Amino acid sequence: MLNHAGHPVRRAKLRHYLMCPPTYFDVAYSINPWMDPSGHIDHALAVRQWSGLVDAYRSTGHRVDLLEPLPGLPDMVFAANGATVVDGCTLPAKFANPEREAEAAIHTEWHQRNGILYGGGAVQPAVAVNEAEGDFAVLSRSILAGYGFRTTPEAHRELATLTGREVISLELVDPRLFHLDLALAVLDDERDHIAYYPDAFSKGSRRLLAGLFPDALIASELDAYAFGLNTVSDGLHVFIPAGARQLREGLAAAGYWPISVDLSELIKGGGGVKCCTQEIRPARNTRATSVGLAPLLPDERVERPAPFRLRASEEDSSFQRDVREEHHIRRAGASS
């Protein structure tokens, strides 16, 4: 079914996310071009921003489980890098840098203990280097997989063997976009709709993407470097870093509901919305649930009830402001 603008009617599915509070977040070393150990980190602000993202997920109906942070592991907040879960099958990470090696065992233990929650089977130990959802993007029947900086092509074969899915390898060439989730975002994992920044990929991979996804949204360099592709989508709501304004407009025009989230402190560590969010995709016999229909496009000035209620908080977070401004939602009982 298409909406009045000719786009599919967007529907959200309830999701299950694993996240880790930034209790010990810091930039104590540099393992990517965004990290500057000489810079200042506002730890209280990092916690408030991360909490705003959790609130955004829960306010739209999604489940968020928390991984306990441990001292000495400042990058644990970037939970997407810890494991990949597809159809209840789990492939833990095997990190490229020694600074993050210990995180893999923590994620492995969590999935071994909690797999019953999502119909999970055995957790397969990783042999080749992979940084999980940093470089694996899951579609309806296949998986896009990045290589060139962190995850190796051998890991692509491991994931294909574990999941029984086709894994499509894509070569990354921009050091600032060192993970696939900085260069490409899955917007609708049922219709296989994506957004990506072409110059992040080799010529061969650009040709492959153009052939496979002719309807993809194309991001600009400005949006990519603002972490605009480091987003999470439930098929309707797209949780996107606050700086990616042009991409946000493109998402709204395509029938999505973009929700801006300010993670400026965490971006200093090289991670945004998606980096903080590991998705737990249950076994196939688990039934997906729709949580809403696409909102009106921004040029339609008709009020209608919001599909969810935002929570009042001590501070008015950026995602709350943007939702109200862009979709004319009044937050009942909250003062700015």
**Tens digit of each residue's pLDDT (9 = 90 or more) over 131-155:** 999 999 999 999 999 999 999 999 9
Q: Cα–Cα distance between 19 and 275 in angstroms, integer?
A: 9
Percentage of the chain with pLDDT > 70? 83
Looking at residue 324, its pLDDT comes to 34
Looking at residue 3, its pLDDT comes to 61
Check if 328 is active-site.
Answer: no
| From 18-32, 91-105, 277-291, the region with the lowest mean pLDDT | 277-291
- pTM for the predicted model, two decimal places: 0.85
Check if 7 is active-site.
Answer: no
Q: Cα–Cα distance between 66 and 17 in angstroms, integer?
A: 8
Catalytic residue among 107, 179, 193, 327: 179
**Average pLDDT, whole number, for the chain?**
87
Q: What number is the average pLDDT over the span 20-30?
A: 98
User: Could you tell me the two tokens for 198?
Assistant: 């072409």
Which residues lie closer than 8 Å to 331 by C-beta, 6 or more apart? 309, 310, 312, 320, 324
Q: What number is the average pLDDT over the span 256-270?
A: 98
pLDDT band, very low/low/confident/very high, at 294 (cuts 50, 70, 90): very low
Instruction: Look at residue 7 and tell me whether its pLDDT is greater than 80.
Output: no
Looking at residue 8, its pLDDT comes to 83
Looking at residue 318, its pLDDT comes to 38
| Collapsed DSSP state (helix, strand, coil) of residue 260 | strand
Cβ proximity of 292 and 11 under 8 Å: yes
Q: What number is the average pLDDT over the span 60-84?
A: 98
Q: Are strands 136-138 and 89-92 parallel, antiparallel or unpaired?
A: unpaired
Cβ proximity of 81 and 134 under 8 Å: yes
| From 83-97, 184-198, 286-300, 306-320, the region with the lowest mean pLDDT | 306-320
Instruction: Look at residue 161 and tell me whether its pLDDT is greater than 60.
Output: yes
Looking at residue 51, its pLDDT comes to 98
Which residues lie closer than 8 Å to 95 by C-beta, 6 or more apart? 81, 101, 103, 104, 129, 131
Instruction: Look at residue 321 and tell me whether its pLDDT is greater than 50.
Output: no
Q: What is the pLDDT of residues 169-182, one digit of tens each?
A: 999 999 999 999 99
What is the torsional sign of CA 19, 42, 134, 38?
Answer: negative
Catalytic residue among 20, 89, 275, 276: 275
